[in-house]
Structure 1
Amino acid sequence: MMENTPTNKELYQKDKWIKPFLKKYKGLLYLALVLGFLTFFSAGALMFNSGYLISRAASLPENILMIYIPIVLTRAFGISRPVFRYIERLVSHNWVLKMTSDLRLKLYLVLEKDAIFFKSKYQTGDILGLLSEDINHLQNLYLRTVFPTVIAWLLYIFIIIGLGLFSWWFGLCMLLMLGVVIFLLPLISVLVNGARQEKQKVSKNELYKTLTDNILGVSDWVFSQRGQEFVHSYEKEEAKLRQLDEQIKRFNRFRDFVLQVAFGVITIAILAWASVRFPGNHGGAANWIAAFTLTVFPLIDAFAPLPDAAQETNIYKDSIKRLNDLPELEENQVVTKEISITDAEIKISDVSFSYAGTTKQVLENIELTIHTKEKLAILGRSGSGKSTLATLIRGDLQPDKGSITLGGLPTYEFGDQITKSIGVIHQAPYLFRTTILNNVRIGREEASEEEVWQVLDKVGLKEMIEGLPEGLLTMVDEAGLRFSGGERHRLALARILLQDTPVVLLDEPTTGLDPITEQHLLDTFFEALEDKTIIWITHHLQGVHKMDRVIFIEDGQLEMSGSPEELLATNQHYQQLYAIDRGTNHR
């Protein structure tokens, strides 16, 4: 259990997300802290001079020059306070936005590295929690906790030293009284409300996961006539969260009342001390009484946020832990040199592979050469290893044994540049909520509209899109729901044609389509990709006759290989598969 709940010290020592950016932008961080201190110093100095000036003016000075300096200082501090405040806000928010921008980029790169396994590793609700809760909480870590706390401590030290120069015993008294505000109340807030806020954040993350998971599967709830059951269950969990929110707010109201009482006591104490320290009915030393007393009020703004800031540290701890639990971004895998190939031959030599944490060999001793412009179909049952082989070919995984090369270079060394050589069409191509033009241009951003129309013509969508009121500028609904499955695949093919890679990997792109749509789509694929190397992963034989070669993977091993005609004539296993598939298609 101790390993699952590290202390704050252990967590920050092992942190790989926050510390690097503290070092990267330390100059802006220090500047923001100095400006924050100067803001409250100017506010206190303004009230100090104003109090002295009011008292001094009320004592009827013989000459206006006797109060000229307090007038000038009051004006100077009156101007400097908002100026420092404005610049501090600019600097601190600039610093935080730079840091969170880097955090979001790092989060994207970490998740993008495992993009092909995204759905198997992460839930949508987890990612929403990371993006909307954790990154924002780390942003608040600085704006609402680090900056106010450090600035308040600097002011605390300055005030105690300043008062100590006038009276050492009153300096000690203020050390204790302000210590209650700066240390005791924040500590109580952490003990009482900190755990509640941590529980609140965990509950929100769970609601994210529950809601997204059930929205994605809402049709199953409706078809099973249990929709109301989910709604009631969700409302029950939401009610618990609201109850927790109310407990936090109730404590915060009580704590803020105690805080105001504490500052009232501090104000009365300073007034009493100043009256004793600077005696007199009016004029002279008595002018300092109002100066010292009024200084307390702007400092309330500096110290009041501390209890809130302290109690949120548990939330930040949870956010940092979740981010640090993500896989590390391996910088050494980033390819800096340009990679280009002249030969698109793929050579798979004695490849074996098993996933981390398992002993089962997903692929074992695979030997295969895919020639340039060859059309290869990879058959196999679910779990046979065919999709893993495709992932290895793309370089998203590295073989445990053996090698996979494209144009003589290991595919895992290509990094992101593999997209220039191998294009992929998945089972469910994703269309983004932007224009059709932008969705197709994902294949090549700089493509002209004429080039886009050309590829749309090749995939059989030109006429349909020309008939839309806004043509290429028509907005695509989220996830492309306004298009049928076949149309989404054709748009994905248009992207690939723009991308113009020598190798195209078709990862069961016709799954879930009816036989007629499937055949039309396959005809379009093979016609448009005639001059490309095609690696087609499929689970049945419709359209396989158009392939140059068919291989069958069973339990991680290559069981058969040959042209469709050869296998149909000589291989009993293939003949059985062919008979079963034809029977399936005729039903």
Structure 2
Amino acid sequence: MLNKIPIIKSLRHDRWVRPFLKHYKKTLILAIILGILTFVCGAGLMFCAGYLISKAATKPENILLIYVPIVLTRAFGIGRPAIQYLQRLVSHNWVLKMTSKLRQRLYDSLERDAVFFNSKYQLGDILGLLSDDISHIQNLYLRSMFPMFVAWGLYAIIVVGLGILSPLMGLWMLILFGLMIFAIPIWSVLVNGARQTYKKHLQDQLYTDLTDDVMGVSDWVLSGRGKKYLDLHVDNAKKLTETNHKMKKFERLRDFLLQILFLLIILSLVIWGYGKFGGHPSQLTNWIAAFVLAAFPLIEAFAGLPAATEETNVYQKSLVRLNNLPKPVTAKAKEISIEAPYELQLKNVHYTYPHTRKEILHGINLTIKPGEKLAILGRSGSGKSTMASLLRGDRIPTEGTVTLNNINTSKFGDQITNYFSVINQSPYLFNTTIANNLRLGNEDATDEQLWDVLHRVGLAEMVESLPDKINTKVEEAGLRFSGGERHRLALARVLLKDTPIVLLDEPTVGLDPITEQAVINTILTQLKNKTLIWITHHLQGIEKMDQIIFLEDGKLAMQGSPDQLWKTQERFRELKKADQGL
């Protein structure tokens, strides 16, 4: 039966959660012990209070019969909140340490795919991994596994303790508490867990149908099938409502059975107490009150187990998704050192996206010489960005090689940043100071160096006029500045980094023509001694390039210098004239 529980299946082959149980086992054991002691103190407090209240109503034969319960009541009363606070500190510290390691491992697993998530994962999966899955694993520990371990510990103490006083009573408690701890939670997972999964499926389907149909509502109306659309939506909504109703009905039944079991436990303790202490009428009410009241705090430990166990179905998908991730690379990358001049080569390069099986590049051969200015042109989807990723080593060719000084760029790893800088079409500025944003290029840069690069990119005067100068906050995403200013700040970062190769990935998209030309002129002037790879979709400023290639359907349709293409390629002349509005 246990094999039918999804979370059990996932945990059998888990390599994310189980290792941390072993790694932090001492802290986990301490947290469980403290959790058990919290409930023991609660039960002890009620036990002593019940005994004390009854005993205080009669004349005690010995003052110790009152004094000792008073002391114990005080001790348990202070001990319960103190131990509970300590238990929460330990358990949350344990969980937070564990989840921080899980997040680090998650980022390590995804790091090598970070620049092309969309080639392997859907966006929803990535957001789920980053925002939900680790939190689900945290809740799996805090809200499901930890209360379960505590309940098992209390279960053992109750059964053993009562078994010593009365073996038959111990056996009866073994059955009653066993039903609360094992039978009802498993029943809840198998029945309501399946409904939970079905509910999630219906919600996803309802959302998908609704968005798809609303986007195409005009087609429904024009085709005269509006009623069918409404019927489909109403049918799914009705199924979802029915499932919710069944789940609530089951929860009420489950809670009722838990209360019945608890009532049986209380009645059993009353009957057992009467049989055990009936021979001593003066002590009967004292002990019955003590044992019965001691049982009440324990219900808190057991009553929430079915719901907590049922929640594991929500966490199971997260666990599966995490375990399907690639194992993080733990080996340190081999140090690669190359010297100038730096030459890039693509030899018979083919590239196919893993999830579409569509070949984007077909047999590209290209040499980019040191200090050369290369423009890569082509329509959207022609393979420009894919080629840029291959040049940086972010992707590995399906066939052929991409090398920097005869070393595959994919082997450089993070070391590629020593040779490559990138300016994207939307340079990102963090919500911190101008100085901090610039020092992303060189964290050791002095203020003098910062002002130098600001002068070089034409921003020194503007920054000088700001209230806090280079210590002025740029606001989230750099919204304080215009598009052209953000590109100039990105260029300043590149100048501080001072790499020999700079990749411009459509850096002037969205800029007005005057600003665009000004940004292009600044970039070309300041990067005149660098190898420059410029990805663009139009031809403004293209005459300043040494070499131009046109990508079309993943192949080199045209290649040569601007003068060569102008003289030999009618298509290039037409494109140039169209770009100039002639």
- C-alpha change, 1:209 and 1:253, in structure 2 (3 Å) is same
Matches within 5 A, 1:327-476: 327-331=325-329, 335-343=332-340, 345-348=342-345, 350-355=347-352, 356=354, 361-476=359-474
The CA distance in 2 between the partners of 1:59 and 1:550, in whole Å, is: 104
Q: How many angstroms apart in 2 are the aligned matches of 1:246 and 1:130?
A: 31
Give the whole-Å Cα distance in 2 for the aligned partners of 1:486 and 1:122. 33
Q: Secondary structure at the match of 1:530?
A: coil
Listed as ranges, the matches of 1:129-140 within 5 Å are 129-140=128-139
Q: Which amino acid letter does the alignment assign opposite residue 533 of structure 1? A: T
Give the 3-state SS of the residue equivalent to 2:172 in structure 1: helix
Q: Which moved more, 1:107-116 or 1:313-322?
A: 107-116
Partner of 1:582: 577
Q: Secondary structure of 1:586's match? A: coil
Query: Which segment drifts farther, 48-57 or 546-555?
Result: 48-57
User: Normalising by the residue count of structure 2, what TM-score does the alignment of the two structures yield?
Assistant: 0.83
Q: Per-residue deviation at 1:250?
A: 7.0
Partners in 2 of 1:312 and 1:322 — Cα distance?
Answer: 17
Matches within 5 A, 1:183-262: 183-198=182-197, 252=251, 255-256=254-255, 258-262=257-261
Partner of 2:317: 318
List runs of 5+ in structure 1 lacking aligned partners: 218-231
Q: Indicate if the aligned counterparts of 2:333 and 2:413 stay in contact, CA closer than 8 A.
A: no
- Cα separation, partners in 2 of 1:197 and 1:453, compared to 1, 3 Å: farther
Q: Is the 8 A contact 2:108 2:329 kept in 1?
A: no
Residue 386 to residue 207, structure 1, CA distance change in 2 (3 Å): same
**Distance in 1 between the 2:578 and 2:377 partners?**
18
Q: Hey, what does 2:308 align to over in structure 1? A: 309
The 10-residue stretch of structure 1 (129-138 or 95-104) with the greater mean CA deviation from structure 2: 129-138
Partner of 1:143: 142
The alpha carbon displacement at 1:561 in A equals 4.1
Take 2:9 and 2:99, find their aligned partners in 1: how far apart are those partners? 23
- Does structure 2 retain, via aligned residues, the 8 Å contact 1:433–1:475? yes
CA distance in 2 between counterparts of 1:199 and 1:435 reads 50
**Alignment partner of 1:297 is 2:296:** yes
Q: CA deviation at 1:261?
A: 4.5
SS of residue in 1 equivalent to 2:580 = helix
Indicate if the aligned counterparts of 2:273 and 2:284 stay in contact, CA closer than 8 A. no
What do the CA deviations read for 1:198-237 (whole angstroms, capped 9, x no partner)? 4666688899999999xxx9xxxxxxxxxxxxxx9xx999
Correspondence for 2:222:
none
Moved more, 179-188 or 296-305: 179-188
Q: Which moved more, 1:543-552 or 1:441-450?
A: 441-450
The reply on whether 1:487 has 2:482 as its aligned counterpart is no
Conserved? CA contact 1:335–1:415, under 8 Å: no
Name the aligned partner's letter for residue 83 of structure 1.
Answer: A
Q: Are the counterparts in 2 of residues 364 and 557 from structure 1 also a CA contact under 8 Å?
A: yes
Q: 1:534 to 1:209 in 2, by over 3 A?
A: farther
Deviation at 1:289, TM superposition (A): 2.3
Unaligned runs of 5+ in 2: 216-229
Kindly provide the amino acid, as one letter, of the partner of residue 310 in structure 2. Answer: Q
Aligned to 1:362, what secondary structure does the other structure show? strand
Tell me the CA shift for residue 33 of structure 1. Answer: 1.6
- 2:566 aligns with 568
CA distance in 2, matches of 1:112, 1:129: 16
> How far apart are 1:532 and its partner, in Å?
1.8
Larger deviation, residues 348-357 vs 422-431: 348-357
The answer to whether the 8 A contact 2:160-2:170 is kept is: yes
- Report the residue type matching 1:169 in the other structure: L
| Identical positions, percent | 54
Question: 1:348 corresponds to which letter in structure 2?
Answer: Q
Paired residue type of 2:392: R
Matched length: 559
Match of 1:32 in 2: 31
Cα deviation, 1:102-156, whole Å, max 9, x if unaligned, reads 2223333444432322355555554443333322222111111001011112211
Cα gap change, 1:487 to 1:204, in 2 (>3 Å):
farther
Relative to structure 1, the CA distance from residue 97 to residue 478 in structure 2 (aligned partners, 3 Å threshold; closer, same or farther) is same
Does the Cα contact within 8 Å between 1:201 and 1:315 map onto a contact in 2? no
1:481: Cα distance to partner? 4.3
C-alpha spacing 1:32/1:140, structure 2 compared with 1 (3 Å): same
Change (3 A) 1:427 1:86: same
| Aligned-partner residue type, residue 12 of structure 2 | Q
Distance in 2 (CA, whole Å) between partners of 1:203 and 1:130 is 22
CA contact (8 A) 1:339 1:417 kept: yes
AA partner of residue 159 (structure 2): I
Partners of 1:431 and 1:512 in 2: how far apart?
Answer: 17
Distance in 2 between the 1:338 and 1:210 partners? 52
Distance in 1 between residues matched to 2:31 and 2:118, nearest whole Å:
41
User: Aligned in 2, Cα 1:256/1:397: closer, same or farther, shift over 3 Å?
Assistant: same
Task: Give 1:508 shift.
Answer: 1.9
Give the whole-Å Cα distance in 2 for the aligned partners of 1:68 and 1:6: 51
Whole-Å separation in 1 of the counterparts to 2:305 and 2:558: 71
Q: CA contact under 8 A between 2:566 and 2:572: conserved in structure 1?
A: no
Distance 1:384 1:66, change over 3 A: closer
How far off is 1:17 after superposition?
2.8
**Residues 174-212 of structure 1 deviation map (CA, whole Å, 9 limit, x = unaligned):** 223223322343234334543454466668889999999
**Higher mean C-alpha deviation, range 522-531 or range 177-186:** 177-186
More moved, 244-253 vs 255-264: 244-253
Quickly say closer, same or farther: Cα 1:538–1:329, change in 2 above 3 A: farther
Q: Are 1:156 and 2:155 an aligned pair?
A: yes
Q: Aligned partners of 2:96, 2:210: CA distance in 1, in Å?
A: 29
Distance 1:287 1:321 in 2: 53
Determine which of 513, 520, 536 is the counterpart of 2:511: 513
Q: Which moved more, 1:133-142 or 1:250-259?
A: 250-259
Q: CA deviation at 1:365?
A: 4.2
Aligned mates of 2:460, 2:137 — CA distance in 1: 47
Aligned-partner Cα distance in 2 for 1:91–1:200? 36
Cα root mean square deviation, aligned? 3.7
Kept in 2: contact 1:335–1:416 (CA 8 A)? no
Asked if the contact 1:345–1:369 (Cα under 8 Å) also holds between the matched residues in 2, the reply is: no
* Separation of aligned partners in 2, 1:527 and 1:212: 49
Which residue matches 2:218?
none
- Show the counterpart of 1:550: 548
